[in-house]
A and B are shown apart, each in its own frame.
Chain A
Amino acid sequence: MSDFFLSDFATDSVDRSDKNAPGRLQTIEMDGIHDMGGMAGFGPVEVEADEPVFHQPWEGRVFAMAPAAMVAGCFTTPMFRHAIERMDPVHYLTSGYYEHWLTSVATLLVESGRVTRAELESAAGSFPLARPERPLSVVLDGPASHRFVVGDVVRVRDVHPSGHTRCPDYVRGCKGTVARVDPPSSVPDTEAHDLGAVSETAYGVRFEAAELWGEADDVEGSVHIDLHDRYLEPA
């Protein structure tokens, strides 16, 4: 099975020729296609036996280009992830993993003026990029200092920002228990949007499955996820 397992979902009826038209941008929320936890309908996990690390040489080149450009100061990891998240959802679902990386690196280099889209397209033909950043709908305030300790019951704030966040949709509004307090680390939400690197405590939070998925015969166990302080409130 290939990287392109989702090609069956591609549809010729989707018109992508106007993908930069403002009217279409407004239809894209940042609870984006990448935020997949709990989505239904994707079918079985297809495992490729004896899979090589890279299927084609270009995948290895692209894999290394991203950190190389980061080392060169072109962008940060949160910016890189957010540019993948800004891909047209149809392109995201119908392209392989390293094509996501390729699209993200190219988008960030064009946006920062290091490379032009014309240069890319004169060498390669059409070169789809991610959509532009949208104005942030919510900027979560950070706490003055870390607020929770192991054993505290917390609720994930039910906020749906238009930009980057590492708080997945499936835990929002849900109650969990702090299982671990981690050292402060950069809040991806601000770093992705060039609002500065803000250091803040993150917590390992445990959620019982029934809290996340409601009542069903197959709901069992727990999910543990790491969340920054600003994503949480006392329960």
Chain B
Amino acid sequence: MSHDHDDHHHPAELTAVERRAAALEALLVEKGIVDPTFIDAMVEAYAHDIGPMNGARVVARAWVDPAYRERLLADGTAAVAELGFAGAEGNLIVVANEDKVHNVVVCTLCSCYPWTVLGLPPTWYKSAPYRSRVVREPRRVLAEMGCDLPDDVDIRVWDSSAEFRYLVLPERPAGTGAFGEDDLAPLVTRDSMIGVARL
């Protein structure tokens, strides 16, 4: 974080943006526009309960259950709802990686992201370098992020610009044939479901 943020400041040392956030919330509550318990509940949900562990369950199920995989690729929204994952950002399309096909997701205009299955996006996903470059030079960006793809892999970039959010279905790692769903889910990383990593 920037140097003007200290862990042990008292209110007199609030940064400018902290003062603005506090002022806005106080006014919203005072005027009866916003219920502070709504804010508490939403922060709590996204800080702890909604995150990439949801998407990992979806991917692990798809790896062990071919019929589920088929439903997931045909209608992502309905298939993730089967596992209890639904929400405002729930219109989902799942794109599958293959041996010679690699998918990667971006939102060049803002920060669209499949909240329901991945939670809130990391800072780099919302940053100018990622948004500007991954549509123009995806192979280089992926390599810089540690994801080296063989030359013959076709790279498909998905720019989320309308109603649908995208989730990448990574390939099941080699050597996991004996693993069950519960053993597989912890292997699935957030980055593999955005498409900036392979497993």
Contact = CB atoms under 8 A, between A and B. Distances in A.
Interface in B20-47: 20-28, 31, 33-35, 38-40, 42-43, 46-47
A123 B19 contact: yes
B110 A37 contact: no
Nearest to A73: B33
B139 A220 contact: yes
B128 A36 contact: yes
Nearest to B146: A47
A3 B1 CA distance: 7
Nearest to B108: A37
B24 A65 contact: yes
Interface in B119-170: 119-120, 122-124, 126-133, 135-141, 144-145, 154-164
B31 A114 contact: yes
Contacts of A61: 21-22, 25, 39, 43
A46 B170 CA distance: 23
Contacts, number: 225
B5 interface: yes
Given A37-B108, A42-B132, A168 B20 contact: no
Contact of B162 (A43, A114, A126, A166): A166
B157 A60 contact: no
Interface in B72-92: 88
Given A43-B129, A55-B1, A182-B162, A224 B157 contact: yes
A170 B5 CA distance: 37
Interface of B: 1-2, 5, 16-28, 31, 33-35, 38-40, 42-43, 46-47, 51, 88, 93, 108-111, 119-120, 122-124, 126-133, 135-141, 144-145, 154-164
